[in-house]
Amino acid sequence: PVKRVTGETVAERLTENARERILPARYLLKDEQGEVVETPAELFERVATAVAAVEEEHGNDADRWAERFEELMTHLEFVPNSPTLMNAGTELGQLSACFVISPDDDLGDIFDVARQAAEIFQSGGGVGYSFSALRPKGDVVQETGGIASGPVSFMSVYDQMCETIKAGGKRRGAQMGMLRADHPDVGRFCVAKREEGRLENFNLSVAATREFYEAVQDDEEYTLYNPRTGEPHEVTEWTARFYNESYAETDPDIVEENVWRDYADEIPGIEAYRGDLLTEGEEMTLPARFVWRLMVDGAWRNGEPGLFLLDQANAEHSFDVDAYPDHRIEATNPCGEQPLEDYEACNLGHVNLSLCVADDPPHWDDFRERWDGDAEAGDDLDAAVDAFLDEAVDFDRLDRIARLGTRFLDDVVTASDFPLDEIEETVGRLRKVGLGVMGFAELLVQLGVRYGSDASVEVARQLMARIDHVATQTSHDLAAERGVFPAWEESKYADPTAHPEWFRRHTGEDPAEWEDGYPIRNHGLTSIAPTGTTSMIADTSAGCEPLYDVVYFKNVGRDVQGAEPLVEFDDYFLRVLEANDVDVEAVRNEALSLLESGAYDGPSSLPIPDELADLFPRARDVDMADHVRVQAAFQEHVDGAVSKTVNVAHDADRERIADAYHLAADLACKGVTVYRSGSRSGQVLSTEPEG
């Protein structure tokens, strides 16, 4: 009994939060007095016109494409990332959300990168950095004869810079800091955000190499390297000061950060490594599980660091990084959905899956019964879901959105102005874009498929495969019109028979038929972003995530919300109530009063029938392993990565986090972020009143 809403114009569709708060605060153009001078409809027209202007360069009718793009956005079928909405057609024509720029082991470069990042934040983009090239703390500095202060201390400088830019920028700058697991300062990095308030403008992830991860699995030692020399690190006093227990007794003024003195009591399992782990002057090796425990403990305490599976990301890259080491990836953008080369940027856009449901779709349970009753059908879940989606999904619409969306994003690459020549140059050579989804959870509700079930995992895999293949085919067609991306010769697409499995998965084509190479316009096409704000504009569930809840507090920043966090009702939930003759006003009021008093506990605590409450599983109601399985299913047909938070209950133990990490690695994810409910104060999403 689920009513769907399709085809309305944007003015009718936009929720009050989107229309009255989010769009005016950040997206609609303003005059010098700060007065809004644009309607939401004009915003989409501005963006469509600016992006479609590129079509002219390719001999196409720009007006016609502008009309199509505008319609696509007006119906909220496709929403580009925030910087495109904010900046297209304005003087600040920077349209990408994702950047990676990493400092070299050089003081000048470290501060150059800080300045470059500041410029990116001003345009609403987020920056990821790999700090792996920086020499470890206490290493020699030839020029001064002094000692190096190490990656973590420079991260504090970047953190301050980002904090300072925040006020003037389009939105909060977001940063990702990565350090390889085989960097001597990895221990310091793992505990860098242990105290709340430190490095608040950073997400952290350990970039796990294959050697490190295998050593964890086999419970062995692994070698740590000094990036200055490329050789195994020769243990210095400063390295020993962090890892060796004997330093725990030393005067605290001399020994800053000694893991035994500061944290050992709180990290279960670390006792196994008591004593001095290192000997000064010798090659540095550590028990892999010691570092692993530091990581897992941090993630358990407050969600950081996350895990980035570095070698997996490089193996899946569209370049063979052994043959072309310059294409190696060392980091992702802030929310993890885009592993990028150094100085690469990427613009994103999302298919709104919640609008791709067929008229009057069958309910999965009914379909399954019908299917199982058919003696010839067999009991293959893949086949059942395939047949189900044929009836339940409007594939004409899905294909059209994915095709137009891909073309839009390729035009954005050309239309975007970047603050740095190096970025302009790299983006121009690679032309990566990130077509993804939003509204996956809402689609599942409409189809009667429970998020996290086996069927939902299969739905994720099949829909993403479809989007990926449509995007690839579109990019292939664009290559015929506009040429391949300039670095194509170096890519796996130029040599499909050397990478048959990879090629087949990404294109759905037979490598033998493309012996001379497969022309394509973009080196990467798909990616699943969080869509934190854009999904609120489109009034649907975020990215590939389950619903956080049907009503919650959302902290989006003071410019949007004022002093109080926004109360966000899942609009789709309200529409379902309405369609089922529930008194929506009464439910709203009850929800607000429960939220205020702290007594709210999910849809089942509201005065609605159980069958309706059951339709809306919350993120916390989904089992950890099912979160990971959904992520892995999307990843299978995504060139970039998947931004996903694996939620676990507040009382989950550390082993549960480690299990999530291992499962993600087993299922070929590129990274994983686990968040234990309530482990941080000031959560972005919450159902508890603050204070």
Query: CB of 345: closest distance to ligand UDP in angstroms?
Result: 10
Provide CB contacts within 8 A for 587, sequence distance 6+. Answer: 574, 577, 606, 607, 608
Residue 339 within binding range of ligand UDP, rule CB under 6 A: no
By C-beta, is 305 or 334 nearer to ligand UDP?
334
Give the separation between CA 11 and CA 9, rounded to whole angstroms: 6
- The residue within the footprint of ligand UDP, chosen from 226, 314, 533, 647 (CB under 6 A), is 533
Which range of residues in 277-285, 306-314, 330-338, 583-591 is near ligand UDP by CB under 6 A?
A: 330-338
Provide CB contacts within 8 A for 521, sequence distance 6+. Answer: 410, 431, 475, 476, 478, 479, 482, 483, 484, 485
Query: CB of 532: closest distance to ligand UDP in angstroms?
Result: 3
Which range of residues in 2-10, 241-249, 525-533, 650-658 is near ligand UDP by CB under 6 A?
A: 525-533
* Beta-bridge partners for 547: 618
Per-residue contact string for residues 197-216; x = within reach of ligand UDP by CB under 6 A: --------------------
Following DSSP, what letter does each residue of 512-523 receive, concatenated? GGGTT----S-S
Query: CB of 38: closest distance to ligand UDP in angstroms?
Result: 18
Query: CB of 347: closest distance to ligand UDP in angstroms?
Result: 10
Residue 96 within binding range of ligand UDP, rule CB under 6 A: no
Residue 351 within binding range of ligand UDP, rule CB under 6 A: no
Burial class (CB within 10 angstroms; exposed 0-12, middle 13-18, buried 19+) of 492:
buried
Residue 169 within binding range of ligand UDP, rule CB under 6 A: no
By C-beta, is 97 or 389 nearer to ligand UDP?
97
Give the separation between CA 590 and CA 609, rounded to whole angstroms: 14
Residue 14 within binding range of ligand UDP, rule CB under 6 A: no
Contact 97, 346 (CB under 8 A): yes
* Beta-bridge partners for 339: 332
Residue 524 within binding range of ligand UDP, rule CB under 6 A: no
- CA dihedral 364→369→373→376, nearest 10 degrees, is 20
> Could you say which DSSP state residue 197 is in?
T
- What sign has the CA pseudo-torsion 133, 138, 140, 144? positive
By C-beta, is 300 or 440 nearer to ligand UDP?
440
Contact 86, 113 (CB under 8 A): no
Catalytic residues: 333, 335, 337
- The residue within the footprint of ligand UDP, chosen from 101, 335, 435, 445 (CB under 6 A), is 335
299: nearest Cα among 208, 364, 226:
208
Looking only at the bridges linking them, the beta strands covering 306-309 and 331-332 are unpaired
Which range of residues in 37-45, 313-321, 328-336, 499-507 is near ligand UDP by CB under 6 A?
A: 328-336
Q: Read off the tokens for 562.
A: 């004022």
Residue 550 within binding range of ligand UDP, rule CB under 6 A: no
H-helix or E-strand containing 510?
none
By C-beta, is 507 or 643 nearer to ligand UDP?
643
Query: CB of 103: closest distance to ligand UDP in angstroms?
Result: 18
Query: CB of 111: closest distance to ligand UDP in angstroms?
Result: 21
By C-beta, is 155 or 606 nearer to ligand UDP?
155
Residue 544 within binding range of ligand UDP, rule CB under 6 A: no
Site for ligand UDP in 286-315 (CB under 6 A): none
Give the separation between CA 246 and CA 268, rounded to whole angstroms: 19
Query: CB of 162: closest distance to ligand UDP in angstroms?
Result: 10
Burial class (CB within 10 angstroms; exposed 0-12, middle 13-18, buried 19+) of 423:
buried
- The residue within the footprint of ligand UDP, chosen from 138, 519, 532, 671 (CB under 6 A), is 532
- CA dihedral 578→580→582→587, nearest 10 degrees, is -60
Binding residues for ligand UDP, rule CB under 6 A, total 19
Residue 530 within binding range of ligand UDP, rule CB under 6 A: yes
By C-beta, is 236 or 631 nearer to ligand UDP?
631
H-helix or E-strand containing 277?
none
Query: CB of 129: closest distance to ligand UDP in angstroms?
Result: 12
Q: What are phi and psi of 431, to 5 degrees?
A: 50, 45
By C-beta, is 522 or 534 nearer to ligand UDP?
534
Q: What are phi and psi of 426, to 5 degrees?
A: -65, -45
Site for ligand UDP in 100-159 (CB under 6 A): 125-126
Residue 638 within binding range of ligand UDP, rule CB under 6 A: no
Which range of residues in 178-186, 332-340, 659-667, 668-676 is near ligand UDP by CB under 6 A?
A: 332-340
* Beta-bridge partners for 207: 180, 308
Phi-psi region of 149 (alpha: psi -120 to 50; beta: other; left: phi over 0): alpha
Residue 334 within binding range of ligand UDP, rule CB under 6 A: yes
Query: CB of 278: closest distance to ligand UDP in angstroms?
Result: 36
- The residue within the footprint of ligand UDP, chosen from 17, 49, 74, 81 (CB under 6 A), is 81
Site for ligand UDP in 228-287 (CB under 6 A): none
| Three-state DSSP state, 357 | strand
Looking only at the bridges linking them, the beta strands covering 140-141 and 146-147 are antiparallel
Contact 158, 118 (CB under 8 A): no
Contact 127, 175 (CB under 8 A): yes
Residue 531 within binding range of ligand UDP, rule CB under 6 A: yes
Query: CB of 335: closest distance to ligand UDP in angstroms?
Result: 3
- The residue within the footprint of ligand UDP, chosen from 204, 529, 608, 624 (CB under 6 A), is 529
- The residue within the footprint of ligand UDP, chosen from 82, 318, 354, 541 (CB under 6 A), is 82
Which range of residues in 152-160, 390-398, 529-537, 621-629 is near ligand UDP by CB under 6 A?
A: 529-537
Which range of residues in 147-155, 171-179, 200-208, 597-605 is near ligand UDP by CB under 6 A?
A: 171-179
- The residue within the footprint of ligand UDP, chosen from 94, 244, 491, 534 (CB under 6 A), is 534
What secondary structure, in 3-state letters, does 525-577 show? CECECCCCCHHHHCCCCCCCCCECCCEEEECCCHHHHCCCCEEEECHHHHHHH
Which range of residues in 63-71, 253-261, 532-540, 621-629 is near ligand UDP by CB under 6 A?
A: 532-540
Q: Read off the tokens for 19.
A: 């229309």
By C-beta, is 101 or 494 nearer to ligand UDP?
101
Query: CB of 97: closest distance to ligand UDP in angstroms?
Result: 3
- The residue within the footprint of ligand UDP, chosen from 10, 66, 97, 117 (CB under 6 A), is 97
By C-beta, is 244 or 347 nearer to ligand UDP?
347
Residue 171 within binding range of ligand UDP, rule CB under 6 A: yes
Looking only at the bridges linking them, the beta strands covering 433-438 and 344-352 are parallel
Other C-beta atoms lying within 10 Å of the C-beta of residue 577: 22
| Three-state DSSP state, 345 | strand
- The residue within the footprint of ligand UDP, chosen from 54, 66, 72, 98 (CB under 6 A), is 98
Which residue type is seen at 470?
Answer: V
The Cβ-side half-sphere exposure at 184, using a 13 Å CA radius, reads 33
Query: CB of 613: closest distance to ligand UDP in angstroms?
Result: 28
360: nearest Cα among 13, 6, 3:
3
Query: CB of 199: closest distance to ligand UDP in angstroms?
Result: 16
Binding interface with ligand UDP (CB under 6 A):
81-82, 97-98, 125-126, 171-172, 174, 333-335, 337, 529-534
